[in-house]
Amino acid sequence: MTLPFVKMHAHGDDFIIIDRRGQSDPITRQIARQLGDRHTGIGFNQLAVILDCEDAAARIKFWNPNGTPLHACGSATRGVADRLMFETGSDAIVLRTDRGLLTCTRESGRRVSVDMGAPLLGWAAVPLAQAMDTCSLPIDGNPAACSMGNPHLTFFVDDVDAIDVAAAGPALETHPLFPAQTNVHFVQVLDRGHIRLRIWERGGGVPLGSGSCCCGAVVNGIRRGLLDDTVEVHCDGGTLTVKWDGSGGVVLTGSVEPVMQGTAYLN
């Protein structure tokens, strides 16, 4: 089997896009793992598959490199929006993901915004294993949790560079409080409009950035009273902007860049 693909990145958060509109969807867990291997495949933080959709410009399905599906990916959603807006000559587009219908818009400087929808804040929606206040979890470090379609666990620390993310992340990802596992953030608040963020990504490891993790981290910081409603998030790979008014959708804005296109050959 051959699969044409496009690879893009958002400040180093790399993803591949496979357009299957008008065709069947061949992606399985095994194929996602094969494509995601950085030595024997293409390598990515996420895979986005574009499919036909009756009530939006397209439907997107997402995969992690370990072959697990995920419901939300802010970077790849914006990448797909970027390509489809160029294709149609428009400055706005609506895409369907497992988070629902997401509106994306073209901004200046090849930036793209996506309204990621309202965060899920209740313990059952994250989900957590038992009822509790998601703004203050009974885990060392007093983290907060929310969901942007995927679970997010946020620690607020004095110096994010002092954290060994690769060592701390795996045990926190699989903490018993998170039956579906979780993304893990370590946040250093620089001021009310700026944070430094490092990430352990569920099913992926340590990325240079993550759109949905930026959203989750800012939401939890606003809930804690630490941040204003517009925040610049400084990740290892670059800076994105997250806006949230405390009740509506979370708007993520940043650049997306094409890297390559090619054909994957699958056994």
Tell me the pLDDT tens digit for each residue of 151-160.
Answer: 999 999 999 9
Question: pLDDT-derived band of residue 204, with 50, 70 and 90 as boundaries?
Answer: confident
> Start-end ranges of CATH 3.10.310.10 in the chain?
2-106+258-265, 144-249
Given a cut of 80, whether residue 267 has pLDDT beyond it is no
pLDDT category of residue 59 using cuts at 50, 70 and 90:
very high
pLDDT beyond 80 at 212: yes
At 77 the pLDDT is 97
**Is pLDDT above 90 for 140?**
yes
CATH architecture, domain defined by 144-249:
Roll (3.10)
Give residue 159's pLDDT. 97
φ and ψ of 211, to 5 deg = -65, -50
Please provide residue 68's backbone torsions phi and psi, each rounded to the nearest 5 degrees.
Answer: -95, 145
- Is the pLDDT assigned to residue 216 strictly greater than 80? yes
pLDDT at 169 (0 to 100): 96
Q: Which is more confidently placed, 142 or 109?
A: 142
Q: What is the pLDDT of residues 1-57, one digit of tens each?
A: 899 999 999 999 999 999 999 999 999 999 999 999 999 999 999 999 999 999 999
214, amino acid identity: C
- pLDDT above 90: residue 68: yes
pLDDT of residue 73: 93
212, two tokens: 């949905």
Q: What is the pTM of this model?
A: 0.94
Per-residue pLDDT reduced to its tens digit, 78-123: 999 999 999 999 999 999 999 899 999 999 888 999 999 999 999 9
2-106+258-265, CATH topology level: Diaminopimelate Epimerase; Chain A, domain 1 (3.10.310)
Question: What is the spatial distance between Cα 152 and Cα 154, in angstroms, rounded to a whole number?
Answer: 6
Per-residue pLDDT reduced to its tens digit, 221-252: 999 999 999 999 999 999 999 999 999 999 99
Find out whether 187 and 171 touch, Cβ atoms under 8 Å: no
Q: What single-letter amino acid sits at 122?
A: G
Average pLDDT over residues 158-165: 96
**What's the pLDDT at 110?**
83
Task: Give dist(CA 11, CA 211) in Å, integer.
Answer: 10
Q: How confident is the model at residue 139, as a pLDDT?
A: 97
Residue 91 to residue 104: CA distance in whole angstroms: 8
On whether the CB atoms of residues 209 and 44 are closer than 8 A, the answer is no
